[in-house]
Structure 1
């Protein structure tokens, strides 16, 4: 019987374990691998053995699927080792802290009998998926601009997120979700300009695209206490507009179930008419894991979350950081 391993026992390790359970695979989670194991720290993995040695997973032929939920600097070495061992790897975003390291991971995946999917979970929120379907249907016409916003109080669930050398900072760990969305709709990014009020303040980023489109991202990862996690996106096309908004009930990170919503709705206004819909429940992490499991079991093609797109999102994130440092626009080759 094929088994699952989760590397990491923190917030994201728990989110992935709950997602595997949601996908009906709780009993298949064989290992939780972490440097400082704490029995029971991942309740959804009730039958898992807590280990410290990655080699146990690499050498266990029963383990076919692995969620990597560790700090970003560890991603490359862990993912490359797993792929060399023929595992199917669900790797938390960002792929790595540098494009060079991200490409090493992608090259390892290309040579592997296993496969790689980068976990850009925003692609699996129902609201974001609804807007993608509307856009692909042609109802909005040609997309001209995409605006995205993402706000959160200072994260308390992982201390390493506040260390830019570990997380890459807000633009790499947080804003990357929205850069990924912009790229998905507008195509090849060619120039990035970023401005920020202070090192811990909100940032405004403009991205220009080869096809003429323009995207804007507003990010704030240090909002006042009591401000709920909020994300929005607007698509502006020649034939209509579409909007999605998610806002948590409380001032917490978006919940691993996706059901912690005070506001969770999307609307479309176009020449074909108007649509407004509330989303009662959502399970983006569960949907992401189920998609990964199904695709890994049938060839390992991940069209909903392709690795090249994850690398391009990282390129934009790093260009935004470079723009802040330079005080002007930065080109992307």
Structure 2
């Protein structure tokens, strides 16, 4: 039986707790949160002990791994002590608020010989994974241009999201989903230019990424403070041989346009999904704890964080910023 410690009690911790409950030979044995951990453990886990402090959880329970679903700026102080105790870690994106803190986490995991998996769940969504495969297989030729959109509306959310020193705003917390997808698909990013606007609890951000390949990506991230707007994602990737598009509001999951004579498949997903992306992500993490390869390496998490932080810095400075410029 794999023994998991779950940190946090918000939306993502709830999602993960429910998925672990569906898995065989995996048990959440402890939950830690500074607020109401006992209520969370009662509602979402079967036999988990509740702790107000994560370090107390580490020392009281015989853990194989922890799952960190807490605010971004808390990750270092939770991950480093776990690594020092020889505990494997799944850490929700982004790894941390700064490169310095994130690098300490990665170094601690390497020194201890434990697995640290960044929680970039988007890689497990079939529309994104399928398009990445098609791009890598040459379906559009050499990609020249990519666009992504992510709109996540809210009216009430924890105060730390509005504290730029803790969350990094939409360019870090929200846009890093698509930054990681584009970097995973198109390769290393050379420089970033970004703009963002905030008003009345809303935030709109746009980042332009220049990839080392010469491709250009446009990342549109929106935090509207409105309940009447939908959660929405979209992307397109274009090259000389065709265009791949996705829009979450379109009834067809993927649209393919090609210069080839054969009729392309409109829906590349052959069978209905038996497991959602969160379940697939957690199963991949569990497999890595049991000795398999990590589905996403800590270094990949660092690379995507550097691009998102370059966007944050670019918006502040009003000029392009290379990911390599982003310091501690």
Please say whether Structure 1 and Structure 2 have the same fold, judged by a TM-score greater than 0.5.
yes
Structure 1 residue 148: deviation in Å?
0.6
- CA pair 163-264 structure 1, distance change in 2 beyond 3 A: farther
Q: Which residue of 2 aligns with 1:169?
A: 169
Q: Which residue of 1 aligns with 2:3?
A: 3
Equivalent pair of 1:192/1:331 in contact (CA under 8 Å): yes
Within-5 A mapping of 1:77-92: 77-92=77-92
Tell me which moved more, 204-213 or 59-68.
59-68
- CA pair 155-145 structure 1, distance change in 2 beyond 3 A: farther
Within-5 A mapping of 1:81-230: 81-154=81-154, 156-198=156-198, 200-222=202-224, 224-230=226-232
Tell me if 1:32 matches 2:26. no
Equivalent pair of 1:323/1:329 in contact (CA under 8 Å): yes
Tell me which moved more, 195-204 or 86-95.
195-204
Structure 1 counterpart SS, 2:248: strand
Equivalent pair of 1:127/1:264 in contact (CA under 8 Å): no
TM-score of the aligned structures, taking structure 2 as reference length: 0.89
Tell me if 1:331 matches 2:322. yes
- CA pair 210-307 structure 1, distance change in 2 beyond 3 A: same
Tell me which moved more, 184-193 or 136-145.
136-145
**Alpha-carbon deviations, 1:4-63, whole Å to 9, x = none?**
11011111211111221233456x110011112343325331211111232343235631
Q: Give the Cα separation in 1 of the matches to 2:198 and 2:154.
A: 15
Tell me if 1:277 matches 2:267. yes
- CA pair 25-267 structure 1, distance change in 2 beyond 3 A: farther
Q: Which residue of 2 aligns with 1:237?
A: 239
Q: Which has the higher strand share?
A: 1
Q: Which residue of 2 aligns with 1:22?
A: 22
Q: Give the Cα separation in 1 of the matches to 2:285 and 2:244.
A: 28
Q: Give the Cα separation in 1 of the matches to 2:155 and 2:15.
A: 15
Structure 2 counterpart SS, 1:149: strand
Structure 2 counterpart SS, 1:41: helix
Structure 2 counterpart SS, 1:39: helix
Structure 1: stretches of 5+ with no match in the other structure:
248-261
Equivalent pair of 1:19/1:285 in contact (CA under 8 Å): yes
**Alpha-carbon deviations, 1:49-98, whole Å to 9, x = none?**
11123234323563102101111111012101111111110001110111
Structure 1 residue 197: deviation in Å?
4.0
- CA pair 44-61 structure 1, distance change in 2 beyond 3 A: closer
| RMSD across aligned positions (CA) | 2.2
Structure 2: stretches of 5+ with no match in the other structure:
none
**Alpha-carbon deviations, 1:151-170, whole Å to 9, x = none?**
02126353322222221111
Q: Which residue of 1 aligns with 2:54?
A: 54
- Aligned residues between the structures: 316
